[in-house]
Structure 1
Amino acid sequence: MKKIVAITSCSTGIAHTYMAAEGLEMAAKELGYNIKVETQGSIGAENQLTAEDIAAADAVVIAASTTVKKERFVGKKLLEVDVNDAIEDGKGLLKRSLDAPIYNNGEAKTEKVETSKTGIYAHLMTGVSYMIPFVVAGGLCIALAFAFGGINSEGDLAGALNEFGGLAMGLMWPILGGYVAYSIADRPGLVPGMLAGMLMSSMNGGFLGTLLGGFVAGYTIIGLKKIIKLPQSFSGLMPILILPVLSVLITGFVMKFVVGIPITALNEAIMDWLNSLSGMNSIVLGLILGAMMAIDLAGPIGKAAYFFGVASLTSLGTGETSTVMGAVMITGMVPPLAMALSSTILNKKLYSAEEQEAGKSAWVLGLSFISEGAIPFAAADPIRVLASVTIGSAITGALSMAFNCGIAVPHGGFFVFLIPGAVSNVLLYVVALAVGTVVSGLLVTALKMQAVKKNAKA
Structure 2
Amino acid sequence: MSDMITADLVDLDLAAATKDEAARSLAERMRALGRVTDLDGFLADVAAREAQMPTGLDGGIGIPHCRSTHVTDPTLAFGRAPSGIDFGAPDGPADLIFLIAAPAGADDAHLTILSSLARRLMNEDFTSALRATPSPATAAALISGDIEPAEAVAGDAETAGAATAYATDVLAGQEPGKPGVKPALEPAAARGAGGPAAPAGAGAEPGDAAVGGPVVSPGSGDGQGQGEKPFRVVAVTSCPTGIAHTYMAAESLEKAGHAAGVEVAVETQGSAGFTRLDPAVVEAADGVIFAHDVPVRDKERFAGKPTVDVGVKAGINRPAELIAEVREKAARGEVTDTARPTPVERGGAADEGYGTKLRKWLMSGVSYMIPFVAAGGLLIALGFAIGGYEITGAKSVAEVFAWGDHTSWAALLFQIGGLAFSFLIPVLAGYIAYGMADRPGLVPGFVGGAIAITIKAGFLGGLVAGLLAGAVVLAIQKVRVPAVLRGIMPVVVIPLISSVIVGFLMFLVIGEPLARLQQGLTDWLNGLTGANAIILGVILGLMMCFDLGGPLNKVAYTFAVGGLANATDGSLKVMAAVMAAGMVPPLAMALATTVRGKLFTKAERENGKAAWVLGASFITEGAIPFAAADPLRVIPSVMVGGAVTGALSMAFECTLRAPHGGIFVVPLIGNPFLYLVAILAGTVVSAGLVILLKGMRKTSVVSPAAQEAAAEKPTVVAAV
Residue 382 (1) aligns with residue 662 (2):
no
Select the structure that is richer in helix. 1
Q: Determine the structure 1 residue equivalent to 2:384.
A: 146
Aligned pairs (5 A) from 1:14-413: 18-20=49-51, 23-24=54-55, 25-26=63-64, 27=87, 30-32=94-96, 46-47=241-242, 54-57=249-252, 68-69=295-296, 80=311, 98-99=317-318, 101-102=321-322, 113-153=351-391, 155-227=407-479, 229-232=481-484, 234-316=485-567, 322-343=572-593, 345-413=594-662
Give the CA deviation at 1:371. 1.0
User: For the residues of structure 1 that align with 2:487 and 2:638, how far apart are their CA atoms?
Assistant: 55
User: For the residues of structure 2 that align with 1:448 and 1:96, how far apart are their CA atoms?
Assistant: 41
Structure 2 SS opposite 1:175: helix
User: For the residues of structure 1 that align with 2:314 and 2:427, how far apart are their CA atoms?
Assistant: 38
CA, structure 1 residues 447+359, in 2 after alignment: closer, same or farther (shift >3 Å)?
same
User: For the residues of structure 2 that align with 1:116 and 1:161, how far apart are their CA atoms?
Assistant: 42
Mapped contact 2:560–2:571 kept (Cα < 8 A) = no
Give the CA deviation at 1:454. 5.7
Deviates further, 159-168 or 215-224: 215-224
Q: Determine the structure 1 residue equivalent to 2:694.
A: 448
Structure 2 SS opposite 1:102: helix
TM-score (norm 1): 0.81
CA, structure 1 residues 80+218, in 2 after alignment: closer, same or farther (shift >3 Å)?
same
Name the amino acid aligned to 2:604.
E
Equivalences, count:
421
Name the amino acid aligned to 1:423.
I
Name the amino acid aligned to 1:376.
P
Mapped contact 1:203–1:264 kept (Cα < 8 A) = yes
User: For the residues of structure 2 that align with 1:436 and 1:56, how far apart are their CA atoms?
Assistant: 50
Give the CA deviation at 1:139. 0.9
Name the amino acid aligned to 1:20.
A
CA, structure 1 residues 209+453, in 2 after alignment: closer, same or farther (shift >3 Å)?
farther
Based on CA coordinates, which of the two structures has the bigger radius of gyration? 2
**Among candidates 666, 676, 685, match of residue 430 of structure 1:** 676
CA, structure 1 residues 62+53, in 2 after alignment: closer, same or farther (shift >3 Å)?
closer
- Structure 2 stretches of 5 or more lacking a match? 1-44, 56-62, 65-86, 105-238, 257-288, 335-341, 392-405, 704-720
Give the CA deviation at 1:246. 0.7
Q: Determine the structure 2 residue equivalent to 1:8.
A: none
User: For the residues of structure 2 that align with 1:76 and 1:282, how far apart are their CA atoms?
Assistant: 51
CA, structure 1 residues 408+321, in 2 after alignment: closer, same or farther (shift >3 Å)?
farther
User: For the residues of structure 2 that align with 1:15 and 1:75, how far apart are their CA atoms?
Assistant: 37
Of structures 1 and 2, the one scoring higher in RCO (CA 8 A, sep 6+) is 1
Name the amino acid aligned to 2:590.
A
Mapped contact 2:440–2:494 kept (Cα < 8 A) = yes
Mapped contact 1:16–1:372 kept (Cα < 8 A) = no
User: For the residues of structure 2 that align with 1:414 and 1:201, how far apart are their CA atoms?
Assistant: 32
CA, structure 1 residues 299+322, in 2 after alignment: closer, same or farther (shift >3 Å)?
same
CA root-mean-square deviation = 3.8
Write the deviation string for residues 55-100 of structure 1: whole angstroms up to 9, x where unpaired: 2146999896xx633969999998649xxxxxxxxxxxx7996247
User: For the residues of structure 2 that align with 1:194 and 1:279, how far apart are their CA atoms?
Assistant: 39
Name the amino acid aligned to 1:339.
M
User: For the residues of structure 2 that align with 1:15 and 1:213, how far apart are their CA atoms?
Assistant: 37
Name the amino acid aligned to 1:354.
A
Give the CA deviation at 1:22. 8.2
Name the amino acid aligned to 1:127.
G
Write the deviation string for residues 376-411 of structure 1: whole angstroms up to 9, x where unpaired: 111111111011001111111111111111101211
Write the deviation string for residues 146-188 of structure 1: whole angstroms up to 9, x where unpaired: 2322233371111111011111111111111111111221211
CA, structure 1 residues 112+338, in 2 after alignment: closer, same or farther (shift >3 Å)?
farther
User: For the residues of structure 2 that align with 1:236 and 1:207, how far apart are their CA atoms?
Assistant: 35
CA, structure 1 residues 222+75, in 2 after alignment: closer, same or farther (shift >3 Å)?
closer
Mapped contact 1:405–1:428 kept (Cα < 8 A) = yes
Mapped contact 1:79–1:112 kept (Cα < 8 A) = no
Structure 2 SS opposite 1:322: helix
TM-score (norm 2): 0.53
CA, structure 1 residues 221+37, in 2 after alignment: closer, same or farther (shift >3 Å)?
farther
User: For the residues of structure 1 that align with 2:307 and 2:505, how far apart are their CA atoms?
Assistant: 41
CA, structure 1 residues 177+78, in 2 after alignment: closer, same or farther (shift >3 Å)?
closer
User: For the residues of structure 2 that align with 1:210 and 1:334, how far apart are their CA atoms?
Assistant: 30
Give the CA deviation at 1:326. 0.6
Mapped contact 1:321–1:423 kept (Cα < 8 A) = no
Give the CA deviation at 1:456. 5.8
CA, structure 1 residues 223+48, in 2 after alignment: closer, same or farther (shift >3 Å)?
farther
CA, structure 1 residues 338+52, in 2 after alignment: closer, same or farther (shift >3 Å)?
closer
Deviates further, 212-221 or 437-446: 212-221
Deviates further, 287-296 or 14-23: 14-23
CA, structure 1 residues 17+252, in 2 after alignment: closer, same or farther (shift >3 Å)?
farther
CA, structure 1 residues 186+96, in 2 after alignment: closer, same or farther (shift >3 Å)?
closer
Structure 2 SS opposite 1:236: coil
User: For the residues of structure 2 that align with 1:352 and 1:314, how far apart are their CA atoms?
Assistant: 44
Write the deviation string for residues 317-350 of structure 1: whole angstroms up to 9, x where unpaired: 6x9971111111100110111011112x111121
Mapped contact 1:384–1:447 kept (Cα < 8 A) = yes
